[in-house]
Amino acid sequence: MSEPRWLSRLLVDMIHSELLQEHGGAPGARAGGDDLIESASSRAPNRYTYAPESDLAALAAAYLFGLTRNHDYIDGNRRVGFAAAATFLVLNGVRLTASEVEAYDMVIGVVEGRYSEDEVAHWIRTNSEPIP
């Protein structure tokens, strides 16, 4: 696999802002959240560097897991984690096929600690397809 197109920290922040405008919530990062956002935004590229056999699903799961579990932002962490993963996939020619209910259940499972990052990657593989 050639190197994927990554999400920049700026793009992650833009996704977060857009989601807040659409769904409401307080803007900004928690105290110390800026470093956590940077860390979560770098999680997928770091995984690719140190585990180059990682597929797009594993890399998308790294974005979702990092942004959702770190609670970096004041509001909207679940939304930005899922949207960042979905955006990453689209930038790399893949779209999610799961229903909103299935996606919501998976994200809540991540927040509650019921799913590991590898299980999220498996879920993404099962619920995605190449964009024609």
Q: Of 18 and 97, which is predicted with more confidence? A: 97
Mean pLDDT of 83-96: 96
pLDDT category of residue 74 using cuts at 50, 70 and 90: low
Residues 6+ apart with CB under 8 A from 127: 96, 97, 98, 102, 103
Q: Residue 75 pLDDT more than 60?
A: no
Q: Residue 72 pLDDT more than 70?
A: yes
Q: Residue 61 pLDDT more than 70?
A: yes
Nearest alpha-carbon partner for 12 in 93, 59, 49, 67: 67
pTM: 0.86
Nearest alpha-carbon partner for 80 in 100, 96, 69, 64: 64
pLDDT category of residue 20 using cuts at 50, 70 and 90: low
C-alpha 116/C-alpha 132 separation (Å) is: 30
Q: Residue 122 pLDDT more than 80?
A: yes
pLDDT in tens, 38-57: 777 788 998 999 998 899 99
Which domains, from first to last, does the chain contain? 9-130 (1.20.120.1870)
Q: Residue 18 pLDDT more than 90?
A: no
Residue with tokens 């897991």, as numbered in its chain: 65
